Structure 1
Amino acid sequence: MKKILIIEDDLSIAEIERDFLEIEGFAADIASDGIEGLRLARTGGYDMILLDLMLPGMNGYELCRAVREKTDIPILMVTARAEVADKVRGLGLGADDYIAKPFSPTELIARVKSNLAQYGRLTRSSESGGDREVEAGPIRINPRSRRAFVREAETEFKNKEFELLLLLVSNPYIVFSKEQIYEQIWGMDAIGDLKTVAVHINRLREKVETDPQNPDYIQTVWGAGYRFRL
């Protein structure tokens, strides 16, 4: 049974999330402030975290950063704040996905299942993939160790950043639409906010490109999607 940690200060929302998760066969615990949420997250007993941004004690941004220092389990930000800047900041700190209130229970469960399934597939793939490295342009990636090097300098990429970079580098010159990227990296039909894809592309460019505003490698193909050019 997969175990989910809900970090949410609105108890009515947290209980609704817990009820729907339990109906679907998950176990769920609730923390109503950031400090308690971080304490529980660090116990290591959870497969995923549902994280609100606006929390007493420690906000969701701080908590996300602290959790990411210890574990790479999926983090789904659940928040009423839908501004692009908030999303960019949250995803940049290591959140895997983002869902804005109000949301339907169906969408919440779909996001949870897809992120867990994708994390499981990638974990199994890393464990069985040997030490074969993928190299293109200035980038070298070891999928098993989940290490990446840009111009021979080891560079940290968050969960979805790493997966997206690996997809692009492994398929140079192939154009992927935002919908295709969302389906392959987030493991579900593109019912989510496709701005999430653009945010991750921008994060990759900041770490890979000499001039992120004029990228040489991670290119936009207008009207079609993105590709990695050698």
Structure 2
Amino acid sequence: MEEVRLHILIVEDEPKIRDVLIAYFEKEGWKTDFTSNGIEAVQKFDYHQHDLIILDLMLEGLPGEEVCSRIREKSNVPIIMVTSKSREIDTINGLNLGADDYIVKPFRAKELIARIYALFRRIAPARREHNEEHIISFYGGKLIVDTESREVTTDGRLAPLTATEFKLLSVLIRKPNKVYSRADLSYTVQGYRFQGDGRAIDAHVKNLRKKIEPDPGNPLYIVTVVGTGYKFSMQPDEP
């Protein structure tokens, strides 16, 4: 497996789980910080450079959902929620807050590590063919995607996409008008087959639309194909 050097902030109030994660992460060669307090988690992130946050939701001081919201206000750092909240609505709410992934307790540490590798494979800059332009413009320059810097601007404003949202967009724009099923998007974007009805992808699409669509309720770029999935409906601007 390819080497990934990470500095991870573990926000978890169960000492046994926290200790297991630290042991497994250090075995991977990853540096870890940890806290069981939501307020301290926000403070730690303010003063340390972290590549990933493992975030429980049921915390003292500040709920994990609020921790996620506060961090999302200033950073697109990848966040994986790890929680005993197992209802589907909890998963969707977590993703709507900007989490990149959501895993329910009890879980195997090796499964979490596999998901971390999957997450960072999709974050890694894609290798471009020598003749491929890395800046792609749509709708007369109203939407611009830079696949090298991983920046997206809409109407001249930088859109703060998470790693998952950027990967989702980059997959869709690669083949305009190609219809992708939710299962295909889950595998291509998240790196594993989603076991469920695809609402996790729906949540990521909803978040992405909020950030790039002129009118998210009447999407121009990412169109729903009823009964099938989604497609990117616009061709790139002519050079």
TM-score normalised by the chain length of structure 2? 0.78
User: What is the RMSD of the two structures over their aligned residues, measured on CA atoms?
Assistant: 2.9
**Matched letter for residue 173 of structure 2:** V
User: Which residue in 2 is equivalent to 1:36?
Assistant: 40
Structure 1, gaps ≥5 residues long: none
C-alpha contact (below 8 Å) 2:142/2:156 kept by paired residues: no
CA contact under 8 A between 1:136 and 1:169: conserved in structure 2? Answer: no
Count of matched residue positions in the alignment of Structure 1 and Structure 2: 222
Aligned to 1:154: 157
1:163-178 matches, cutoff 5 A: 163-178=167-182
Using the alignment, how far apart are the partners of 2:145 and 2:153 within structure 1?
Answer: 6
What whole-Å deviation, never above 9, does each CA across 1:5-59 have from its counterpart, x for those lacking one? 1101111111122222223332222211111212222223321110011111111
Question: Which residue of the partner structure matches residue 133 of structure 1?
Answer: 136
Distance 1:95 1:131 in 2: 27
- Aligned twin of 1:95: 99
Distance change in 2, residues 1:62/1:94 (3 Å): same
Q: Summarize the Cα distance change of 1:136–1:171 in structure 2 as closer, same or farther, 3 Å threshold.
A: farther
CA contact (8 A) 2:179 2:229 kept: yes
Partner of 2:145 in structure 1?
A: 142
2: distance between equivalents of 1:116 and 1:140?
A: 25
Within 2, Cα distance between the matches of 1:137 and 1:110?
40
The structure 1 segments of at least 4 consecutive aligned residues displaced by more than 6 Å after TM superposition are: none
The residue correspondences of 1:188-207 to structure 2 (distance < 5 A) are: 188-191=191-194, 194-206=198-210
Q: Deviations over 1:176-206 (max 9, x none)?
A: 22233223322x2225654321211233345
Residue aligned with 1:46, SS: coil
Give the match for residue 182 of structure 1: 186
Cα separation, 2, equivalents of 1:89 and 1:156: 21
Q: Distance in 1 between matches of 2:82 and 2:20?
A: 13
Partner letter of residue 138 of structure 2? E
Residue 97 (structure 2) pairs with residue 85 (structure 1): no
Question: Which deviates the most, 96-105 or 173-182?
Answer: 173-182
CA gap of 1:111–1:192, structure 2 versus 1, over 3 A, is farther
Among residues 107, 112, 115, which one is paired with 1:111 in the alignment?
115
- Superposed CA deviations along residues 51-83 of structure 1, whole A, max 9, x for unmatched, are 011111111122112222333221101111123
The normalised TM-score by structure 1 is 0.81
Whole-angstrom CA distance in 1 between matches of 2:210 and 2:26: 40
Kept in 2, the 8 Å contact 1:174–1:228? The answer is yes
Say if 2:182 and 2:229, in contact at 8 Å, map to a contact too.
Answer: yes
| Structure-2 separation of matches of 1:82 and 1:132 | 40
Where does residue 13 of structure 1 map in the other structure?
17
Q: CA deviation at 1:96?
A: 1.0
Listed as ranges, the gaps of 5+ residues in structure 2 are 235-239
* Paired residues of 2:76 and 2:160 also in contact (CA < 8 A): no
Counterpart position of 2:57: 53
